[in-house]
Amino acid sequence: MPTITVDGEDYEVEAGQNLLSICLSRGIDLPYFCWHPAMGSVGACRQCAVIEYEDDEDQQGRLVMSCMTEARDGARYSVDAQTAREFRGGIIENLMINHPHDCPVCEEGGECHLQDMTEMTGHTLRRYRGPKRTHRNQYLGPFINHEMNRCIACYRCTRFYRDYAGGTDLEALGRNNQIYFGRREDGRLLSGFSGNLVEVCPTGVFTDKTFSRHYVRKWDQQMAPSVCEHCGVGCNTAPAARQPGSPGDPWLRRVTNLYKRDINGYFLCDRGRFGYEYANSPARLTQVMERDNIELIGSSSGGGALSHRQIAPADGVEAFARHLEDHGTGKHLLLGVGSPRSSLENNFALRTLTGAEQFYAGVSAVDLQLLQLVNSIQCDERIRSATTPEVEQADAILILGEDIDNTAARIALAVRQAAQNQRRRQAEKLKIPDWQDAALRQLPAAPVPIVFAGCEIPALADCCSDHVIGTPDALVSFGEAVLEAIGASRGGTDQGDTLTDTGDSPLSRDYLQLARDTARALVDAERPLVISGCGAQHPGLLRTAGLIATALAEERDEPVNTYLSCPEVNSLGLLQILSSADQHLERAGSIMADARKRGIPVTLVVLENDLFRRLPQNQAQEILSSADTVIALDHLLNDTTRRAHLVFPTAATPEYQGTVINSSGRAQRHYCVYEGIGFIQESWRWLADAISASNLHSDTADLVRSWQHSDDVSAALAEALPVFAEIRRLMVSLRDNFNVARQSHRASGRTAISAERRVAEEPPPEDTDAPLSFTMEGVHDPAKTTLQAVIRAPGWTSNQSIHKYLQGLNGLRVERGAPTLLQRPQKPVPRWQSVELHACGNATNGSTTSGRLLAVPLHRLLGSGELSSSAEGIASAIEPPFAKLHPTDAAQRGIHHGEQLVLNLGETRRQLHARVDFEISPGVVGLPCGFPELADITVRLPVAVHIKPVTASDHTAGGDEP
């Protein structure tokens, strides 16, 4: 290891690193702006200057930019030398000449890197006496504020937005000190990662617009570690809350990134950052409600919606308890429907309540099979689940059928970084370190083989070496051709092209060649990666991806990395709780129908789930109407809660402690950031309350009664199901001798917030689940515990302070142990290769014969997420529902771009905006998956549909016809 001397202190350092990152990771305070730990060095701001000495004799030294200087073994540097300090002071003085003195009204104030760095250099006196340059600000959409006058031109925004995240609609415009970072014209920033600008910008040019509506200073926020609930990646977040000061204020104020090396690193997607607003939505349930027995007339959601009235929570619990007692007599059937977007604890509590046999996954048969496929592929000995840094390091990637830009956006961002790997290799040859970002990006290099196969050209296309756009069946054929080519290379023949073209292949010669090239690239790569997932709703695609990965592993004689995307935050967790492989909603429906036939009353408990997003409308309605009583527990008013007889308001992810399993099988904890308003509490607590209020007495009832803390449920789960044994490691004992403060030392106004109502201070709530206080009392040091989500350090108030708490640059956070993984048994020969797959609508040739097209789901970051669609900002950015089809198919049917078309699917008929586009495969019509108006259709995809132009007679009906 090289040794360097900085201001007389010796340091052992990693070879090849730049001096700035070495200094920062050794706790040396050195100011910087343009450098970013994930984005490397470009040498633009000149803020991190230090003195480098030639040799031991050299007293003068010379000024170098530490971010651009590779630490040399035996070299001597000084951060403290007067010349260096004066120069750094001069740079900050230059940067500040145009910066407005608006810190008191700037939303960055108190967590501003520019403030921190200005303080650090000691610059206080303004010597510039000229006018400041001013800019016109732009409207950048519902998420981001723009205040260009604050800009210090560090270029981090465009480097992140363009170079790192592949965006195109934000750029550096103009030159000299008039340089402008913005769009060519006003409008929403179109990248799905735009929210990161808020954290990447070292000052207040880009700030969170959703946060502005209910802004509070960082030091006044209470925070706790959380996990993003908006997809299966499981990014770590730090939601921030504060007691409302005025009636319109919500508790939950914003979400920021919480560094987690192996999952999200420094960045979140926009769904994850701005989706939080669902918790503050007007549709939020806060009261216990009971049906009124009056059917709502003219409900937009079809029949069966009921009007409700508020009741006392105790009455609700009593009513719930009576239903449980009925069940206890054995004359009733009690069924539970779990949820992939709720915690293990909530699902397990319901499973305990109903008994494992009567606990059903809240997903359809196809969705369940997809999850089982993911699970069993991951359990294959030859398969590894890649972490995000491993995705970034891949040097050949096949993405089969999964539009990760929209289903697992953070992973797509990682794939983008992998696309630079040939350049990194090239740089290594030229002895250019990989943190020399600008140098790296100008190197020519062959593209990294990244092959995308899907129905629609993805946003990732610009960094893919090739893509295959086809119908799902064509994609399976492509996958099979890759598989065959891998097999052929194994047969000892060196050439993939010994494969014979039989002529009856559904693939063109080009695609066959591409399949061979892809196979070759995967076989030859050092770190190949196969990505697929549940997004296409096509088990065949997923299985083919699994087969490719295992064939590759056989070929290479080592496990192969995969990333298999699951749709929701706890999809994989829910799967493990099920007692058998067919506990899906359709089966629940038939059991209920059967019970009804036999005159057995049915009580259905639906946990945090909207069945109308899981099944076609008629099936969902049938299930709900075949229950005598529907008890729903959820966050929002939706089509299921509207039909329930009893509704309990439940805590949203930032409002409670729970454990979830991400797409890679990693168990993570989210903690209560603030307590939900009204009568909101955790679902498991409502369930335990109901048991406690009942007269039931059995081992399980007593077990549930004994649950006091969230960890009691976790422990019971770990006890009951060995697959969860490891989650005990996530449990932090309440008896441990420490408490972690959710609020900062500087939290202010606790006694003033309600002072107009009462003078006495309200006692803070107590967390019965975790050793976290709702006050400023307790441990603040993020180095002591990862439970501390308020990241700050002396002199560092901004999010940049995280480097103080990492083990080396971009390392693990200190105090963080090994990942907690599901203890799934690894199987040498998995069963998944031979299971019978659910048929998917097959209409590949249909477009010519029957005039039908295969409707396929198109995922959208903004709109396809269930909860995030209720977030105010995101809701305003969702595109109007559309049907996207290829110009050839459109022309055959006389459909024109921009006009309305009619889509017929069985008895369902929908008018949609036609989007005619070469970006989609012929033979399919893409529908935006899970969009509020289309959810009940998109759950059935892929399926063959008829489409035609709107005729005069269609104009009367905008939606379904009865």
Partner 1 sequence: MLINPLTKNIGADDTALDLGAYRNNDGYRGWLRALRMSPEKLIDLVQKAGLRGRGGAGFNTGFKWSFVPGDRQAQPVRYLVCNADEMEPGTFKDRLLMERDPHLLLEGMMIAAHAIGATTAYIFIRGEYHRAAKVLENAIGEAEQAGLLTPETTGWEQPLRIYLHRSSGNYICGEETALLNALEGKRAIPRAKPPYPQVSGLWGRPTVVNNVETLCNLPHLVTQGADWYRQLGRGEDGGTKLFGVSGKVNKPGLWELPMGTPVREVIENHAGGLRDGLTLRGFLPGGGSTDFLGPQHLDLPLDYDAVGKAGSRLGTGTITVLDEATCPVGLVLNLSRFFARESCGWCTPCRDGLPWVVHILQRIENGEGTMEDLELLREHTIRMAPGNTFCALAPGAAEPIQSALKLFEQDFVDHIRGKACPFH
Question: Binding residues for partner 1, per CB under 8 A?
Answer: 42-47, 49, 62-64, 68, 87, 90-91, 94-95, 97-98, 127-130, 133, 153, 155, 172, 174-179, 430-432, 436, 438-439, 442-445
Nearest CB to partner 1, comparing residues 175 and 597: 175
Nearest CB to partner 1, comparing residues 94 and 842: 94
Cβ(211)–Cβ(107) under 8 Å? yes
In this structure, the number of other CB atoms found within 10 A of the CB of residue 605 comes to: 31
Residue among 471, 497, 409 at smallest CA distance from 860: 409
Residue 159 is classified by DSSP as: I
Rounded least distance, CB 34 to partner 1, Å? 9
Name the strand (E) or helix (H) holding 605: strand 602-607
Nearest CB to partner 1, comparing residues 430 and 891: 430
Rounded least distance, CB 46 to partner 1, Å? 5
Q: For residue 581, how far is the Cα from the chain centroid?
A: 27
Cβ(304)–Cβ(625) under 8 Å? yes
Nearest CB to partner 1, comparing residues 11 and 53: 53
Nearest CB to partner 1, comparing residues 112 and 861: 112
Nearest CB to partner 1, comparing residues 175 and 509: 175
Q: Would you call 689 exposed, middle or buried from its count of C-beta atoms within 10 A (0-12, 13-18, 19+)?
A: buried
Nearest CB to partner 1, comparing residues 127 and 598: 127
Rounded least distance, CB 252 to partner 1, Å? 38
Rounded least distance, CB 96 to partner 1, Å? 9
Nearest CB to partner 1, comparing residues 89 and 811: 89
Rounded least distance, CB 114 to partner 1, Å? 13
User: What are the beta bridge partners of residue 821?
Assistant: 666
Distance CA 62, CA 83 (A): 9
Question: With the CA atoms of 648, 654, 657 and 662 taken in that order, what torsion angle do they form, in degrees rounded to the nearest 10?
Answer: 110
Helices vs. strands in the chain: H and E counts, helices first: 28, 36
Residue among 321, 368, 379, 448 at smallest CA distance from 704: 321
Rounded least distance, CB 429 to partner 1, Å? 10
Nearest CB to partner 1, comparing residues 32 and 259: 32
Rounded least distance, CB 173 to partner 1, Å? 9
Distance CA 881, CA 874 (A): 15
Query: How open is the CA angle 549-822-361, to the nearest 5 degrees?
Result: 90
Torsion over CA: 750, 216, 868, 959 (sign)? positive
Query: How open is the CA angle 2-811-403, to the nearest 5 degrees?
Result: 130
Rounded least distance, CB 797 to partner 1, Å? 22
- Residue spans of alpha helices (H) in 616-722: 617-625, 683-693, 699-706, 710-720
What CA–CA distances, in Å, run from 258 to 263, 267, 278, 405, 538? Answer: 10, 9, 20, 21, 33
Nearest CB to partner 1, comparing residues 42 and 867: 42
Nearest CB to partner 1, comparing residues 86 and 295: 86
Structure tokens at 603: 């009580």
Rounded least distance, CB 190 to partner 1, Å? 21
Rounded least distance, CB 193 to partner 1, Å? 22
Distance CA 903, CA 897 (A): 15
Rounded least distance, CB 163 to partner 1, Å? 12
Give residue for tokens 């910008």. Answer: 201
Give residue for tokens 């420490």. Answer: 738
Rounded least distance, CB 136 to partner 1, Å? 17
Beta-carbon-side half-sphere exposure of residue 117 (alpha carbons within 13 Å): 25
Structure tokens at 896: 């024109």
Rounded least distance, CB 60 to partner 1, Å? 13
Rounded least distance, CB 577 to partner 1, Å? 53
What CA–CA distances, in Å, run from 538 to 361, 456, 541, 542, 830? Answer: 19, 15, 6, 7, 20
Contacts of 8 (CB under 8 A, 6+ apart): none
Nearest CB to partner 1, comparing residues 45 and 400: 45
Nearest CB to partner 1, comparing residues 2 and 90: 90
Rounded least distance, CB 104 to partner 1, Å? 24
Structure tokens at 176: 């000299």
Nearest CB to partner 1, comparing residues 95 and 935: 95
Nearest CB to partner 1, comparing residues 64 and 591: 64
Q: Would you call 57 exposed, middle or buried from its count of C-beta atoms within 10 A (0-12, 13-18, 19+)?
A: exposed
Beta-carbon-side half-sphere exposure of residue 774 (alpha carbons within 13 Å): 19
Write phi, then psi, for 877 (nearest 5 degrees).
-105, 0
Nearest CB to partner 1, comparing residues 176 and 733: 176
Distance CA 903, CA 66 (A): 61
Rounded least distance, CB 427 to partner 1, Å? 8
Structure tokens at 707: 């649950």
Distance CA 362, CA 338 (A): 5
